Amino acid sequence: MIFGQIQYLNLIPFHVFMKAFLKNSSSKISMEYKRGVPSKINREFHSRRVDAAFISSISAKRSKYVGLGIIAKKDVKSVIVIPSLQNKSDVESASSNVLANILNVEGEVLIGDKALRYTLVSDEYIDLAAMWYKKYRLPFVFALLCYHKDRKVYQKIEKEFLKTNVKIPQYLLEKASQETGVSKKDIVDYLKLISYKLDSKSKRGLTLFYKEAQKTT
């Protein structure tokens, strides 16, 4: 199987889990990885060059997915808009650009690790997940774990991941810190803002997002 791997800090716990899961799996599942930013992984998935991946929610509407996602209950700090008179989308993004339009926020959209770095040194930004929650009192689902086939495999991954208390080794935190320029403490604090379970409130938030997105097209 070929898995699309988004190289953002918010998926470190899942990648740590998958390494152990594949090693210990009785079904001897093997995976290759294709790495990239969300917009690239979306294209790879829909062209079937990858078998499964966390796909931007706006691109996952007609895809098969399990109950795992990248979800912000309130604020997220890695999906922001820097206020500006000129609107600028983030080429790495899909859902976040649409979310900015839904919330009628003007400025430059930034996502991922570069957005997190910005929020750590400046207060001049709008957190889109926090704004969504303030308006609708629902979580925002940024991505969903989608697949083309082998549903039972991904259901097993979902079940095992959600019941596992993933501990990130210090050497991986150090490596991530060096690669992103975000301190280990800030990485740990940031990951506390991320949820992965697509629960009932998250599903309601996702349904509302799709409804509101239709109005902007």
What is the DSSP pairing of strand 126-127 with strand 140-147?
A: unpaired
Radius of gyration of the chain from its Cα atoms, rounded to whole angstroms? 17
Q: Domains of the chain, with CATH numbers?
A: 2-216 (3.40.190.10)
- 213 vs 61: CA distance, rounded Å: 11
pTM of the model: 0.91
pLDDT tens digits for range 195-207: 999 999 999 999 9
Task: Please give the structure tokens belonging to residue 35.
Answer: 């790495």
What is the DSSP pairing of strand 2-6 with strand 32-36?
A: parallel
pLDDT tens digits for range 60-97: 999 999 999 999 999 999 999 998 867 888 777 878 98
